[in-house]
Copies of this chain bind each other. A is one copy, B any other.
């Protein structure tokens, strides 16, 4: 494709999405839910077609030598398709954030002023690999009254287009515009740049992928980006911690699923409890295959572990590796988090009221826990009902994002003739 025809294609998808978005913003909850349920049914009914299209992507991937986890993520297995449908039904069952009046007050001149949730408009999603994101993201956007413009990875192009085509037809059948689901159906690399320039048509970009993708999107985009760089999560075991609880939380935070962003990467231990805690924790972590890398003080207590260098404190291992540092008090722990952390998720294990209070108050990461594993830093687990992503920057949303984070508020004002003098 020529650059100008790519540009035209992208603009056309985005312009149609903008138009669909103005309709969706006025669509009632029942109709939006009908569309989501129709999507869920249609994906299941068209399983054979989806898997045939998916096979094309899988064949191309194999030709490129892609194997293992990468290939798994690309596969639309029966189970993946069932879970896409299940997710859509779950989102249909959630409350609709649109229309909620979050506050309302009367002014001295009699004006009644309220803040009411409205959709953002058009959400742009740029993602890698997994074709189930196509359905998941479209479902969340439509439920919250937004149109979506999807741009998936080139390795999943056939699967993504097949999923989007089904969803479009489901929308139409349920009585909402098929352009509510916009898909950039080209693998041309210039398409993303064009997409990121269309601030007239797209209100926010949510990139889902590695740090390199996200950096590039932020650099290029004229449209606001909600981003998630990385999760360097900490657990601080305070001097007063219950030892059993501290070990249980440390093991869970590191080893229950090490490859995710809310897994612990650095364990901070108060020096007053390090002698008692570290050998027990090391034994339990060792059983899970976790490799420890410690500061000099930690190495004194655990002579067999490797040293941790300055780089380790910044590292998001996403693996069975854990950096361990012994600190002289909570202030040093908080200072460590402020210096090396990623504003994602931190937890304190303590029996001390004042330390819990102060840790929750003073640590300004997106999720701050007392006496619980960092692994709960997740939209579902926190009770948001769904998750479109996690933001580690503070603007608009900070932390796990659910349906509410796909809305904004407008002011609605009821008057009876008031003018300004």
- Chain A residues within 8 Å of B, Cβ to Cβ: 22, 25-26, 99, 105, 107, 111, 113, 118-121, 199, 203-204, 218-219, 222, 224-226, 242, 245, 248-249, 252-253, 256, 338, 356, 360-362, 364-373, 375-377, 381-383, 393-400, 408-421
Contact B420 A383 (CB under 8 A): no
Contact A417 B369 (CB under 8 A): no
Contact A417 B222 (CB under 8 A): no
Measured CB to CB, the nearest residue on chain B to A412 is B360
Give chain B residues whose Cβ lies under 8 Å from the Cβ of A245.
417
Contact B242 A418 (CB under 8 A): no
Contact A371 B411 (CB under 8 A): no
Measured CB to CB, the nearest residue on chain B to A400 is B411
Give chain B residues whose Cβ lies under 8 Å from the Cβ of A417.
242, 245, 248-249, 371-372
Contact B383 A113 (CB under 8 A): yes
Interface pairs A-B: 5 shortest CB-CB = A372-B415, A252-B419, A396-B396, A394-B408, A375-B420
| Cβ contact of A373, chosen from B199, B365, B419, cutoff 8 A | B419
Q: How far is the CB of A14 from chain B (nearest CB, A)?
A: 16
- With contacts A369-B413, A418-B376, A420-B256 taken as known, whether A364 is within 8 angstroms of B400 at the C-beta atoms is no
Contact B373 A412 (CB under 8 A): no
Give chain B residues whose Cβ lies under 8 Å from the Cβ of A399.
410-411
| Cβ contact of A364, chosen from B25, B249, B338, B394, cutoff 8 A | B25
| Cβ contact of A370, chosen from B226, B409, B414, cutoff 8 A | B414
- With contacts A26-B362, A420-B256 taken as known, whether A409 is within 8 angstroms of B398 at the C-beta atoms is yes
Contact A366 B410 (CB under 8 A): yes
Known pairs A366-B410, A368-B412, A394-B408 / 4 extra A-B pairs, C-beta < 8 Å:
A99-B361, A203-B395, A256-B419, A396-B408
Count of identical protomers in the assembly: 2
Contact B410 A204 (CB under 8 A): no
A249 and B204 CA atoms in complex are apart in Å by 35
Measured CB to CB, the nearest residue on chain B to A417 is B245
Q: How far is the CB of A273 from chain B (nearest CB, A)?
A: 16
A401 and B246 CA atoms in complex are apart in Å by 43
| Cβ contact of A22, chosen from B113, B219, B338, B398, cutoff 8 A | B338
23 residue pairs bridging A and B, Cβ less than 8 Å apart: A25-B362, A25-B364, A26-B362, A99-B361, A107-B382, A107-B383, A113-B383, A119-B364, A203-B393, A245-B417, A248-B419, A249-B419, A252-B420, A366-B411, A367-B410, A368-B411, A368-B413, A369-B415, A373-B420, A375-B420, A376-B418, A377-B411, A394-B408
